[in-house]
A and B are shown apart, each in its own frame.
Chain A
Amino acid sequence: MARISVDKLEPGMRLLKPVLNKSGMTLLAEGTELSETWIRRIQDMEIESIHVDAPVEPAVPKEEMLEQLDRRFRNVENKPYMGLIKRSVQEHIEEMYR
């Protein structure tokens, strides 16, 4: 999934999340295929970015994310269940980069 800036939208991309107005009401439903008209309308609204079906990785590199994880757990790794919790978060982080 990718959140991309509205000026980079191209026809044929599909919405992964609905486009909502300021009160949270749905304007365009999830799964809508973007036409040139829809893209122009979205660009006319005060929206900066939307979710479309293009892959993207988190902004922070994986190694840094894992290093921070080690640091956060440095005092509790041997406490009951903390190893299990840490492994779960670690696998979760690794899957974010796949």
Chain B
Amino acid sequence: MDVQVLRSRVENINTLPTIPGVLKHLSAIIENPKVSLSEISHFVSNDPSLTTKVLKMVNSAVYGFPGRISSVTHAIMLLGLNVVKGLLLGISVFEVMQKAMLGLREHSLGCAVTARLIAQKKGLKEPEEVSVGALLHDIGKVILALEFPAEYESAMNTAQTRGIPIVEAEKTAFPEAHAAVGAWLAQKWRFPRGLVDMIEYHHCPNLSKSASLETAIVHFSDVLVHARGLGFAGDDTVAAVDPAAFELLRFSQDDIKEILRGLEDSIESSEEPWLDT
């Protein structure tokens, strides 16, 4: 498979038969550079089930506003347009995530919670944006697994039999791994560079120029959620943490345990987003 062929298949997500309608419509709206806040609100409010899911998500413990956000416009005011765009895509992708890979949704939500907790601990101004980066970091896996099921299954088998991370196994079956695929989509959807970096470099955070701390947070959240064994992301081994990223965060054993306790509390308190199938 040629890398250009792969990229054009991924970028033409709107025409892929395996992608659900909501995600296609949303993708078409979001990729328009002139999209306005009111167009997004309008699209969402015409879809009651999507509205419910967005409000459930922002009011859950995954985000920091339990029980306080009553409308999509309100969410955009509090969280910003990029975060709401990311959440909408994340929620629409969840619909197919379980089909693509059982457990990837728990993994993604776990990373979103962990990244928000760390971003707050580090005093970042927009912890929600880091959280959305973590929520979407594996979006490339969903598209690869849905669009190329046979190749992806062989990659998962390779990861299993050789005991290697799925990202390594993907490279035996595809010209590019899920991180690059996710970044192509993030660019297509006109996400800010920082958010693209969090997705593209979540395995090698030292390559991020515009958001090195944020990307290190997403990377470490991914490692920690794997370490805790929450959900499933295509392999059953923990990948080694990037030493430079860990040194940037400088966490002690107590810090890590505090983050894990926060993650545990969120899982316990937000029944719906974790358990819906």
Contacts and interface: CB of A to CB of B under 8 A. Distances in A.
Contacts of A87: 253
A14 B45 CA distance: 37
B236 A88 contact: no
A85 B260 contact: no
Interface stretch (B7-15, B143-151, B226-234): B226-234
B52 interface: yes
A65 B264 CA distance: 15
Interface string B58-74: 11100000110110000
Given A80-B246, A92-B257, A75 B237 contact: yes
A61 B15 CA distance: 47
A96 interface: yes
Nearest to B55: A23
Contacts of B59: 20, 23-25
Contacts of A75: 163, 237
Interface residues of A, number: 35
Contacts, number: 95
A25 B55 CA distance: 9
Interface residues of B, number: 34
A73 B237 CA distance: 6
Contact of A17 (B55, B70, B269): B269
Contacts of B227: 69, 72-73, 85-86, 89
18 contacts: A1-B268, A22-B52, A24-B59, A24-B66, A25-B70, A51-B269, A65-B229, A72-B229, A73-B237, A76-B240, A80-B240, A81-B243, A82-B238, A85-B227, A88-B257, A91-B253, A91-B257, A95-B257
Interface of A: 1, 3, 17-18, 20, 22-26, 49, 51, 65, 68-69, 71-76, 79-82, 84-89, 91-92, 95-96
Given A49-B271, A95-B257, 15 more contacts: A17-B268, A20-B67, A24-B55, A25-B70, A69-B227, A72-B227, A75-B163, A79-B240, A80-B243, A81-B243, A85-B256, A88-B256, A88-B257, A89-B260, A92-B256
